[in-house]
A and B are shown apart, each in its own frame.
Chain A
Amino acid sequence: MGEKKTLNLPLIGNIILTKGHSVLGIILGIIAGGILILISGVNPFDAYGAMLRGAFRNWASFTNVLVRSSPLLLGGIGVAIGIKSGLWNTGIEGFMYLGGIGAAIVSTMNLGLPPVLYVLLCFLVGMLFAGVWGAIPGYLKAYRGVNEVTCTIMMNYIAVYLTNWIVTSTPIAQPEAFYPMSLPFAQATYLPILTQGTSLHIGPFIGIVVCLVFYFLLKYTSFGFRTRMLGYNPIAARYAGVNSKRQMVIIMVIGAMLGGLAGTIECIGLRHRLYMEYVTNVGYESVAVALVAGGNPIGVLVSALFFSILKAGGATMAIETGVSSSMSSIIIALCVLFVVGVGVADEKSASARKRKAKAAAAAKKEVAE
């Protein structure tokens, strides 16, 4: 607590300070991953080298990292504000589908709007769909005491099958498609590509801005104060006059809207159609992102980028060195486990230290007497 060294670098210093667990956990995760790579018969330094090359070889490969970070940033923040307020939002997967559905409905209609307006409309509808979807588990948790983890995961499945139905049996489904998908989106809804020849759209930058906004929001506003108070001590918050039930619903809806925005951006920025099962567990990965970040928005920024490097570089690692392509997911999972584990171990040793200090003080007293 009070005994940690201060490094007054803006932002980064803050992270090292409060997120010592995460940094150590990630390092241990990478080492453990290296051991697994070694067991599979590949030199881990070669493998990690290939991974880094895959992520940083040139601007084009780095754009790949950025593109992959977009949903992780937005979803990660959605989970993180939940963590800050004491809610486990595991519904980003479903919220992303709903965002995609919203975007698909609007952009297959060919409204003939100018691009900027049309994109904003997609954002709006996608967030609205997901927000309404998120209000359901929010309401059930706050007013009916339903466990939010169970509820959001169940709703994820509903969202998956709802999407399947939409891309197979509704007017916006592509007839006779080789894979279930919607009709193509209107050109005006495509997110602008920032670097020709890559798929770098503005999504990752929206994600980064959202991280910074929520960092500010949590730390410097009454809304953030209320949210943190609810997370630390919901009973005291109630005594202080906070309508904790309403606040829970609000937090869940905000998390859902961020998830929805992530889904909308994936659809109109990258795929330009709504595909069956297009989210591929990114929503669950954003839970990992937020966990590693300890719920801190700046931490989300760092861990989302880190995970994207693993994912983007992982493909290159698999091709160049023959390590299984699922190794990057394994390393991500190891990092989460170690971050959580280091946190627990640290807490235990802290209390052990305290006990020892107290015993020593007592012994001293006895001697003096």
Chain B
Amino acid sequence: MDNKAYALKMQGITKRFPGTLANDHITIECEHGKVLGLLGENGAGKTTLMNILYGLFRPDEGQIFIDGEEVEIQSPSDAINHGIGMVHQHFKLVDTLTVIENVVLGLPTMKQVLDLAPAKEKLLKLCHEYELFVDPDAEVWRLPVGQQQWVEILKALYRDCKVLVLDEPTAVLTPSESNNLCRAISKITAQGKSVIFISHKLREVMEITDNVTVLRDGKVIGTIATKDATQLKLAEMMVGRAVEIERRPRAKVPADSEPVLVMKDVNVYDERGVHALKNFNLTVHAGEIVGVAGIDGNGQRELAECISGLIKPQSGTIEIKGKPVTGVISDPSFLGFIPEDRHKTGLVLDFTVAENLIIKEYMKAPFAKKGILQYKEIGSHANEMIDKFHVKTSSKDVAVKTLSGGNQQKVVIARELNPEPILDIASQPTRGLDLGAVMGVHDVLMQERERGAAVLFISAELQEVMALSDRIIVLYSGENMGDLDGDTADQAVIGQMMLGKRI
């Protein structure tokens, strides 16, 4: 098919950010009157790609075609002029203005006096046409979140968009609102407009889309027609690795091994009030790796954060070696925590390598005495860690942001695991790393196990969970779906459990 057949085609889009390759030669094709699903986990590059389409980022490489013609999109207004409508995950509405004011905001007009009556008429017509009902005179901040999304969609339709992008639209909707959205989408496509539907919820993608493109680590894994796809197949594409990872041989965990982490009936609600962990029970023993499998966003982050004391569970108990967790644990000889987003949470990118290695111990001897930092000690500690963990850096005194992703992760690992904690939490520790670096992380975790540490290994990559874990639990929608033996676990069974089937 030549490019003309596509309402939108993005070809070979590449975008680099310092330390990461967010989009790596991504090509997507969206046909007229069809819904293209864009599936991938957090950090797979979906949002970056859409921000490029909307002119918020400039791609380093690649072309964009609309109706077969190459276009240059330098700003959101270019994108709008080319008929692209975008509903961002976080709405871009002016809260204090009314619905109709938001809709006409930014439209060119020659009139000096704002006359909203014709605009209102046009908006109401759209409301009826798509069955997305909102009061044009209501102030936006008074509307429930679902209706705010209708406003965003109507705003794009009002501008007569040809391609409508919906970035995780259902994350904020109730089930009945989701149904309204589905109905509206089918009406939009019936008119020959195209929709790009971004999500990591498989069920919706199956229901709504015509074609699905799966992204992982900034690359396109594949594009298939939804009618040929199954949830399982999509899940595999989302989380699997192209390269087979062998299961690591190991001795059995002794039956009398001491329980280190004990969680009982833990319930956690996240900041939006979503029930993120439901009556969660888990025990991790010394010298074992417990792998947590599951599709991203099913409670993994909350699990790691409530154990490390960053968030407080609403009910239930968490004990590490008999000591209840009450506040943030910053004692690295007790808990080593490799957080899931090293740029945001694990490192201070503008600090040097040496400084990043002590951000949990900067106030303790030998790094500080009477509140004065001991740069000599800090420096020799840094050199020792750089040698021991093979961190590739020109010096201990360069900013950690100049290092590659794998070496940044080595800095985090050195800081968290060198003090030999009794419990390790590794949350998505290999995300965004190349295979060599992934293997390095796996080596470290196995060494931790041999040392006798209890290891909780959270990963959305099923293969590596199966390769490393002594026991595997599966998280689905905040629930522990079951506890499997690592040696005998079956990938297909885990795959089913990840989709919410109890086995």
Contact = CB atoms under 8 A, between A and B. Distances in A.
B347 A220 contact: no
Interface of B: 16, 60, 308, 310, 328-330, 337, 339, 344-351, 355, 359-360, 362-363, 368, 371-373, 375, 398-399, 402
Nearest to A236: B348
B347 A236 contact: yes
Given A2-B402, A220-B373, A222-B363, A239 B310 contact: yes
B362 A239 contact: no
9 contacts: A2-B402, A222-B371, A222-B372, A223-B371, A225-B362, A229-B359, A237-B348, A237-B359, A240-B330
A192 B345 CA distance: 51
Given A1-B399, A225-B355, A233 B349 contact: yes
Contacts of B329: 241
A229 B351 contact: yes
A236 B351 CA distance: 11
A240 B359 contact: yes
B345 A239 contact: yes
Nearest to B61: A362
Contacts of A246: none
Nearest to B18: A354
Interface string A349-369: 000000100110000000000
B328 A238 contact: yes
Interface residues of A, number: 23
Interface string A221-255: 11111101100110111111100000000000000
A232 B345 contact: no
Contacts of A226: 362-363
B60 A235 contact: no
Q: Which 5 A-B pairs have the closest CB atoms?
A: A241-B330, A222-B363, A240-B359, A233-B348, A232-B350
A235 B359 contact: no
A355 B57 CA distance: 14
Contact of B346 (A2, A221, A236): A236
A1 B351 contact: no
Contact of B349 (A232, A239, A358): A232
A235 B349 CA distance: 12
A222 B373 contact: yes
A233 B343 CA distance: 9
Contacts of A221: 368, 371-373
B127 to A, nearest CB: 35
Contacts of B344: 233, 235-236
Given A1-B399, A241-B330, A358-B60, A220 B346 contact: no
Given A2-B398, A226-B362, 19 more contacts: A220-B372, A221-B372, A221-B373, A222-B372, A222-B373, A232-B348, A232-B350, A232-B351, A233-B344, A235-B344, A236-B344, A236-B345, A236-B346, A237-B348, A238-B310, A238-B328, A240-B360, A358-B60, A359-B60
Nearest to A222: B363
Contacts of A355: 60
Contacts of A228: 351
A226 B364 CA distance: 12
Contacts of A236: 344-348, 359
A240 B360 CA distance: 5
**Which of A220, A223, A228, A236 has most B Cβ within 10 Å?**
A236
A257 B375 CA distance: 30
B373 A239 contact: no
Contacts of B60: 355, 358-359
Contacts of B363: 222, 225-226
